[in-house]
A and B are shown apart, each in its own frame.
Chain A
Amino acid sequence: MKVLDRKKMILVNSALLILLVLSAAACTLLGPVRIDLSEALKNIFSSTADAEILLRARLPRVLLGIAIGGGMAVCGVVLQALLANPLACPQMLGVSGGASLGGILGLIFFPNWLLPLAGGRLGEISWIPLAAFLGALFSMVLVYRFSLFHGRLHPYHILLSGVILNSFIAAVIMFLNSIVDFYQAQGLLFWLMGSLSTRAYVTVGFIWFYILLGFLWLWSKGLALNLITLGEDAAMHLGVEPGALQRQIFIASSLMIGAMVSVSGMIGFVGLMVPHVMRLLIGSDHRLLLPASFLAGGIFLCWADTLARVLLAPAELPVGIVTAFFGGPFFLFLLYREGRRSLAL
């Protein structure tokens, strides 16, 4: 295994970090309505329209977008390595389906329940994400149980049971959608398409903490991930216990995906595409790839959400449409360029 190129590491990640900060600032200033920045900053603590748009309507959602984009990309990286499958992505794991079902059940049976935090002093958050997270946990346990044989998680079974569970759940959701009333069905469909809309800093803070924790833990396993991509036998000879690593990574990424889908619904494509793009651009050393993918995923989703707010203004597009629309062609272009280059050698 190649020694980690520290110079490249610092260069790539600091460039991406600067880009991320600039993107966050730009995306907070851009939107379907114009705001007067100086007016907004002057009145940060009072409730003027400009200040509320900047600090309540936009900033939390930009921050959430960065966390979700980064988290999805990181989960994509580790799942593609863990399952040795380039098509692996967070949406495939069954966990996202479970979260959707949990959320849908929440929306149908207690759409407006609110959970007071610290006796209401920290505000209130919706129950829906909690219902979704419970669904995610439940489906994670199911997939785990169906893929664990003799203490080892089998990628083949993880993939298949995840895909089957997802399509099963999709059928259940379609069933539920056809028995609720017409207007509720509209709402469910909008929710399923995913959105980063939030005004709750509590939720954003929680998700950031949660994803950062997961990311740091996965990053610490970067070297082991490099080894496991060489094959399980090779990894074992080099001192990695593949069984334990697989279990840990599966559980860590499932927990992250469950939390992300719970707050933002199914936002596709980030977790599939960003890891591949970053691999093509900077190589596949996970110690570098993981932080770079986190930052790139954050940048990508931050801009995708801004486009979602602006493109059809005043209507907001589902952000998943934007990620697929702009990410897909770019990904194909990179893939084609890479193929031509490597085959020309």
Chain B
Amino acid sequence: MIRRPRLFALYFRLIGLFFFIALPSSSDAASVGFSRRIVSLAPSLTETVFALGFGDRLVGVTNHCDYPAEAKNLPKVGDFMSPSLEVIAAQRPDLVIGVVGAIDPAKAREMERLGLNVALLSLSTVSEILSSFKRIAALLGDAEAGERLVRKLTLQFDKVTNRVAHTPRRSTLMVVGLRPLVAVGGKNFLDELITLAGGANIARNAPQPWLNLPDEYVVAKAPQIIIEAGMGSDTAAPARHWSDLKSIPAVKERRVYTYNSDKILRPGPRIGDGLEELARLIHPECFDRADSAKGTRCEGA
């Protein structure tokens, strides 16, 4: 029983050798060659593969993968949380990439048992997101593309952090739903993005990445900015929801915003763009003027 997967792998490798096709087994993807047929099990990873310039190697994505537009036309392998093993196997991928925590570990093991080369990436912090670019690039045989993407993101981050560097942090609440109130806690890359954008997440002491906050906690912490990042289509709803709690500075000063964008919700290559948009909400005064006035207006704010 235990030997079966190895036999499979050996079998595939022999065939691969015979036909000069790189079909790496799970252990030696990097040494034998690089992946040409990739299945992505998360929208963020699909975006990363495209951003690295290898979208044409994707042979399967999830139903939720809708960016860039080309991703929509790729074969679907099922849901983000529960992709179909059969459909994945039928695409004969030489690499399956998924997110730690989203993919059931038993399912990942099952895929390995089927002889698939599975790479699971952890995407729960910004630095993990950046290293996922390098790791995927390495698996695709172009480490340089990974470095380039990381540099691009780092530059985007620096641009934003420089803009808001001299301005006091604004206390911020970010939620993805009002009924109930599901807020971004600590241990969430969105918490890091809020910090990079010059905010201070009021729920950052919570050990959970997402948590249900009671109203009284929000009133007590008096956030200066409230951002609704959920998928509601009614952009005026958040302001209405909070309108009776006038002691909250964000409510009093009309700084309750709706910003529901995959750019920040997906731990992928667009968080750089998302970060700037986030910073524009938290510190609009730092982005008011053209570059010539850089930094001057937001220093005293």
User: B68-76, B119-127, B238-246: which one contacts chain A?
Assistant: B238-246
CB distance from B122 to the nearest CB of A (A): 17
Q: Check A191 against B180 for contact (C-beta < 8 Å).
A: yes
Q: Which residue of A lies closest to B175 (CB)?
A: A187
Mark interface residues in B239-258 (1 if CB within 8 Å of A CB, else 0). 01000111100000000000
Q: Which residue of B lies closest to A58 (CB)?
A: B216
**B residues 20-47 with Cβ under 8 Å of A?**
none
Q: Check B246 against A47 for contact (C-beta < 8 Å).
A: yes
User: A227-235, A280-288, A311-319: which one contacts chain B?
Assistant: A311-319
Given A49-B219, A49-B222, A57-B216, are A186 and B210 neighbors across the interface (CB < 8 Å)? yes
Given A31-B214, A53-B216, A56-B215, are A186 and B176 neighbors across the interface (CB < 8 Å)? yes
Bound-state Cα–Cα, A199 to B233, Å: 23
User: A175-183, A218-226, A322-330: which one contacts chain B?
Assistant: A175-183
Q: Check B244 against A199 for contact (C-beta < 8 Å).
A: yes
Contact of A276 with B by CB under 8 A: no
A35, A56, A314, A315: the one contacting B245 at CB < 8 Å is A56
Contact of B89 with A by CB under 8 A: no
Count: A-B pairs, CB below 8 Å: 118
B178, B217, B230, B237: the one contacting A32 at CB < 8 Å is B217
**A residues 151-194 with Cβ under 8 Å of B?**
178, 181-184, 186-187, 190-191
Bound-state Cα–Cα, A315 to B240, Å: 23
Q: Residues of B contacting A191 with CB < 8 Å?
A: 179-180
Q: Check B205 against A314 for contact (C-beta < 8 Å).
A: yes
User: B77-85, B139-147, B153-161: which one contacts chain A?
Assistant: B77-85
Mark interface residues in B254-282 (1 if CB within 8 Å of A CB, else 0). 00000000000100000000000000000
Q: Check A52 against B219 for contact (C-beta < 8 Å).
A: yes
Contact of A334 with B by CB under 8 A: no
Contact of B211 with A by CB under 8 A: yes
Q: Which residue of A lies closest to B211 (CB)?
A: A315
Q: Residues of A contacting B182 with CB < 8 Å?
A: 186-187, 190
Bound-state Cα–Cα, A190 to B182, Å: 8
Q: Check B237 against A112 for contact (C-beta < 8 Å).
A: yes
Q: Which residue of B lies closest to A309 (CB)?
A: B214
Contact of B232 with A by CB under 8 A: yes
Q: How many residues of A are counted as interface, with CB atoms below 8 angstroms from the partner's CB atoms?
A: 41
A107, A182, A187, A316: the one contacting B213 at CB < 8 Å is A316
Mark interface residues in B77-97 (1 if CB within 8 Å of A CB, else 0). 001111000000000000000
Q: Check B245 against A316 for contact (C-beta < 8 Å).
A: no
Q: Check B216 against A31 for contact (C-beta < 8 Å).
A: yes
**B residues 176-224 with Cβ under 8 Å of A?**
176-182, 185, 203, 205-206, 208, 210-217, 219-220, 222
Bound-state Cα–Cα, A32 to B205, Å: 13
CB distance from B247 to the nearest CB of A (A): 4
CB distance from A252 to the nearest CB of B (A): 28
Bound-state Cα–Cα, A111 to B222, Å: 25
B64, B185, B231, B246: the one contacting A315 at CB < 8 Å is B185
Q: Check B247 against A314 for contact (C-beta < 8 Å).
A: no
Contact of B234 with A by CB under 8 A: yes
Q: Residues of B contacting A49 with CB < 8 Å?
A: 219-220, 222, 247
Bound-state Cα–Cα, A57 to B103, Å: 38
Contact of A23 with B by CB under 8 A: no
Q: Check A182 against B217 for contact (C-beta < 8 Å).
A: no
Contact of A80 with B by CB under 8 A: no
Q: Check A314 against B213 for contact (C-beta < 8 Å).
A: yes
**A residues 68-125 with Cβ under 8 Å of B?**
107, 111-114, 123-124
Bound-state Cα–Cα, A111 to B232, Å: 7
Q: Residues of A contacting B185 with CB < 8 Å?
A: 315
Bound-state Cα–Cα, A195 to B177, Å: 14
Q: Residues of B contacting A186 with CB < 8 Å?
A: 176-177, 182, 210
Contact of A248 with B by CB under 8 A: no
Q: Residues of A contacting B206 with CB < 8 Å?
A: 314-315
Q: Residues of B contacting A32 with CB < 8 Å?
A: 214, 216-217
Q: Which residue of A lies closest to B245 (CB)?
A: A52
Contact of A33 with B by CB under 8 A: yes
Bound-state Cα–Cα, A112 to B181, Å: 13
Q: Check A187 against B211 for contact (C-beta < 8 Å).
A: no
Q: Check A187 against B217 for contact (C-beta < 8 Å).
A: no
Given A112-B232, A114-B240, A199-B244, are A315 and B212 neighbors across the interface (CB < 8 Å)? yes
Q: Residues of B contacting A128 with CB < 8 Å?
A: 179
Mark interface residues in B98-137 (1 if CB within 8 Å of A CB, else 0). 0000000000000000000000000000000000000000
Given A56-B245, A182-B81, are A316 and B232 neighbors across the interface (CB < 8 Å)? no
Contact of A126 with B by CB under 8 A: yes
Q: Check A195 against B212 for contact (C-beta < 8 Å).
A: yes
Find the residue from B79, B82, B216, B217 having the highest chain A CB count within 10 A: B216
CB distance from A9 to the nearest CB of B (A): 38
Q: Which residue of B lies closest to A190 (CB)?
A: B180
10 contacts between A and B (CB under 8 A): A47-B246, A51-B247, A52-B247, A56-B244, A111-B232, A112-B233, A182-B80, A190-B177, A197-B180, A197-B214
Closest 7 CB pairs of A and B: A112-B237, A33-B220, A57-B216, A47-B246, A315-B211, A187-B177, A112-B234
Given A107-B179, A112-B233, A309-B216: 8 more A-B contacts, CB < 8 Å: A47-B245, A49-B219, A52-B246, A57-B219, A178-B82, A182-B80, A183-B230, A199-B244
Q: Which residues of B contact A (CB under 8 A)?
A: 64, 79-82, 176-182, 185, 203, 205-206, 208, 210-217, 219-220, 222, 230-234, 237, 240, 244-247, 265
